[in-house]
């Protein structure tokens, strides 16, 4: 298998878990937050700045970091911070693509990796709230649903800003799966079947 698998996901749908299981079964690397550390080291931008803007589109008045100080000879010089971070992560994703097959979670990787196999994972609000309740039992269902909607909206805005595509639209992916109806294991099996493994 030569292709990179990218997984976009609704918050709480288990897309990260599905991607991790998939990478384990295929014996290939898995990348999610690791991309932040790699991009931070590569760009000399503090890792906490990446975490503060992770898959979030911020308007300049919403952020403390309008610009980040970088090498004036860098292609990132005097570019708004969210664009700097997107470009730095995109460079890492392209490097990972060149290194060989892997699974990459989010970060518009389906746009950056043109020749990958692109998957979108969704689930009903009820299923996602139940799943997140198991992981963070301290939050009420109502509060959890509000958090899910907020994070989904941030991901949607980020994706649409950088890709020009509609987040979650089946036309943008090779495969869209509902983990709430299918379960995690079946989602992994269906992705494997589509890859002809």
The answer, yes or no, to whether residue 13 has pLDDT greater than 80, is yes
pLDDT digits (tens, 9 = 90+) for 33-78: 888 888 888 877 777 777 676 666 654 434 444 444 445 545 545 6
The answer, yes or no, to whether residue 120 has pLDDT greater than 50, is yes
Domain of 35 in residue numbering reads as: 5-194
Indicate the burial class of 62 (C-beta count within 10 angstroms; 0-12, 13-18, 19 or more).
exposed
pLDDT digits (tens, 9 = 90+) for 96-116: 999 989 999 999 999 999 899
Q: Domain holding 38: CATH number?
A: 3.40.50.300
DSSP string for 23-84: HHHHT--EESTHHHHHHHHHHT--HHHHHHTTT----GGG-S-SS----TTSTTTT--HHHH
The number of distinct structural domains making up the chain is 1
Average pLDDT over the chain, rounded to an integer: 85
Q: What is the pLDDT of residue 79?
A: 66
């Amino acid at each position: 298998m030569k292709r990179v698998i990218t997984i976009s996901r609704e918050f709480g749908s288990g897309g990260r878990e599905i991607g991790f299981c998939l990478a384990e079964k295929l014996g290939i690397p898995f990348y999610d937050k690791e991309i932040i550390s790699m991009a931070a080291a590569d760009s000399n931008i503090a890792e906490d700045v990446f975490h503060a803007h992770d898959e979030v589109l911020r308007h300049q008045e919403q952020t403390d970091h309008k610009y980040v100080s970088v090498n004036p000879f860098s292609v990132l010089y005097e570019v708004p911070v969210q664009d700097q971070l997107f470009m730095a992560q995109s460079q890492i994703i392209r490097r990972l693509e060149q290194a060989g097959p892997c699974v990459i979670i989010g970060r518009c990787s389906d746009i950056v990796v043109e020749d990958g196999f692109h998957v979108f994972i969704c689930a009903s609000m009820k299923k996602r709230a139940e799943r997140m309740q198991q992981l963070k039992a301290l939050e009420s269902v109502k509060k959890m649903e509000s958090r899910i909607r907020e994070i989904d909206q941030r991901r949607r805005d980020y994706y649409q800003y950088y890709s020009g595509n509609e987040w979650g639209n089946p036309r943008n992916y090779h495969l869209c799966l509902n983990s709430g109806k299918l379960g995690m294991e079946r989602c992994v099996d269906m992705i494997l079947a589509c890859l002809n493994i």
